Amino acid sequence: MPCIQILPEVFSFLERQHGQFIDGQTRAPASGAAMLSVTNPATESVIAQVAAASEAEVDAAVAAATAAFEGVWAQTSPYERGQLLLRMADAMEAHGEELAQIESLTTGKSIHLSRMLDVGQTAVALRYYAGWATKISGQTLSPSFPSLRGERYSAMTLREPVGVVAGIIPWNFGPMIAAWKFGAALACGCTMVLKPSEFSPLTLLRMVELFTGAGLPDGVLNIVNGGGDCGQQLIHHPDVAKVSFTGSAGTGIKVGRAAVAAHLTRFTLELGGKNAAILLADANVDAAVTGLLQTGYVHQGQVCAAPERLFVSQERVDEVCEKMAQALRHLKIGSPLDEAVQQGPISNKPQYEKVLQYFETAHRQSQVLCGARAVDGTGYFVEPTLIRARTPQDVLLCEEVFGPVLTVMPYEDEGQMLEWVNDTPFGLSASLWTNDLAKAMRLIPQVQAGTVWVNMHTFLDCAVPFGGVKASGVGRELGSAFIDDYTELKSVIMAY
């Protein structure tokens, strides 16, 4: 099947010289600005140039967000904030194909996935937060102080927006992860400065232009581009009240340390995982294999919650491995803009090289059941891979690969299996595959993970909090959990 036609507006957007988005304006690159090249991972060609923000521009973005927080945004009612978020969702959908194409060109994500998640589910998230804008409230409380002179007491709590939030996001699902942050921030009355990954800033730069057309007031949402230095400047800025970070555990630790050292700035961290799927002896193997193929290899496995470790009851392991390897060998690899393709490229060169290194380790240390090779030719393509570990200490069973690789470990004893499942610094997600719901209910509390799915994996819903335990993070996104993170709780006690 041929690739889809690239829209003319996508070509003209890519050709522009991209800079920062500050105080409602797209700023042309300052003269002499360092330029970041955005590469299409399917072709290895540079498709756009984006100026890195200077220190003065980062300061200007925080100043704009501060002025908006104290001014226009403070005067906007919760109802108006909700209405704006709804219009932002509408604007995304009205330009959905354009945004999806930009996202697929910069990340190698299948066009289906860009349409469904980075446009569709991003709009869903904005509408979800729109609903919350009018429902964020404190409590009334009854103090128990003794009344010494006949006075009475009443108390209440107020939810106040924390202020300017710095959002730092990774390259894998930039629009959706950013919307989880700015949707929450804006619903609570905060303003934001976002720093996308330097590998994939383009879709967000186009989105904020659309949001301005939908009525986003100047300064409420700003974007600065750059790498770790830019992120660090934001974290250290005295006017940033909170940092909301999504990325790797290593960077997350640096972000958390910097936030504490800066001004005891509050922070939330959504980090990596080494997520386990557990296939019990009674599981429906065909359903499990289909579910694991869909969730372990979607976006070439570059999904934080994707299953990377597969613990299979010894009596079913050969059947599972055979069915999975058979299906993986038939996945169609190619351009993410070809609607028939099932595997695109790895999103960027450093990640591609990292995955190739893990392939080398797998060939040396474990049993490669299929894949573990680069695809010849242009682009950062690799074969979808299935590994069978020889020991629970195999590197592929211990370190986050963030690629299209699942590593299988058979188990005989459930107690032993649970030890292996939890023997990791990470704790983002896990899944149990079984027809025995009572057994699942007994196992769920024993699995150390922020989310446990049963007979499914990587199913994220706006209504359900998402985040990690152990080294997979601090805090939660989605659900109502975000309210704690984007508001301060003020207590008021009155005597009368």
Residues that bind ligand NDP (CB under 6 A): 168-172, 177, 195, 197-199, 227-228, 231-232, 246-248, 251, 254-255, 270-273, 304, 400, 402, 428, 468, 473
Burial of 225 (0-12, 13-18, 19+ CB in 10 A): buried
Q: Classify residue 274 by burial, with Cβ atoms within 10 Å: 0-12, 13-18, 19+.
A: buried
Q: Shortest Cβ distance from residue 234 to ligand NDP (Å)? A: 8
Do the beta carbons of residue 273 and residue 472 sit within 8 Å? yes
Which residues partner with 243 through β-bridges?
Answer: 166, 267
Task: Give the shortest CB-310-to-ligand NDP separation in angstroms.
Answer: 18
Residue 110, classified by CB atoms within 10 Å of its CB into exposed (0-12), middle (13-18) or buried (19+), is buried
For ligand NDP, the closer of residues 34 and 440 by Cβ is 34
Nearest approach, Cβ of residue 233 and ligand NDP (Å) = 9
Positive or negative CA dihedral for 415, 421, 423, 426?
A: negative
Shorter beta-carbon distance to ligand NDP: residue 251 or 342 = 251
How far apart, in whole angstroms, are the C-alpha atoms of residue 80 and residue 130?
9
Nearest approach, Cβ of residue 232 and ligand NDP (Å): 5
Euclidean distance between CA atoms 118 and 169, whole angstroms? 14
Question: Is the CB of 205 or the CB of 271 nearer to ligand NDP?
Answer: 271
Helix, coil or strand: residue 15: helix
Nearer to ligand NDP, 334 or 468 (CB): 468
Compute the least distance from the CB of residue 306 to ligand NDP, in Å. 9
Q: Identify which of residues 138 and 465 has a Cβ nearer to ligand NDP in the complex.
A: 465
Query: Is 391 exposed, middle or buried (CB count within 10 Å of its CB: 0-12, 13-18, 19+)?
Result: exposed
Q: How far is CA 59 from the centre of its chain?
A: 26
> Cβ(230)–Cβ(205) under 8 Å?
no
Mode of pairing for the β-strands spanning 367-370 and 385-388: antiparallel
Beta strands of 147-261 (E only): which ranges? 153-161, 164-168, 191-195, 221-223, 240-246
Active-site annotation holder among 57, 98, 198, 270: 270
Question: What is the Cα–Cα distance from 11 to 366, expressed in whole angstroms?
Answer: 45
The rounded distance, in Å, linking the Cα atoms of 105 and 97 is 12
Residue 305 or 312 with smaller CB distance to ligand NDP: 305
Q: Which helix (DSSP H) or strand (DSSP E) does residue 487 occupy?
A: strand 487-495
Least spacing, CB of residue 416 vs ligand NDP, in Å: 27
Phi, then psi, of 52 in degrees rounded to 5: -75, 140
Smallest distance from the beta carbon of 402 to ligand NDP, in angstroms?
5
CB of 127 to ligand NDP, least distance (A): 20
Secondary structure of residue 88 in the 3-state scheme:
helix
Nearer to ligand NDP, 199 or 211 (CB): 199
d(CA 110, CA 101): 9
Which residue, 112 or 254, has its beta carbon nearer to ligand NDP? 254
CA distances from residue 287 to 182, 294, 383, 459 in whole angstroms, order as listed? 36, 11, 23, 15
C-beta closer to ligand NDP: residue 49 or 248? 248
Instruction: Give least dist CB 269 to ligand NDP, A.
Output: 8
Q: Return d(Cα 242, Cα 235) in angstroms, integer.
A: 8
Type of residue found at 222: N
Annotated catalytic residue 270? yes
The residues annotated as belonging to the active site are 270
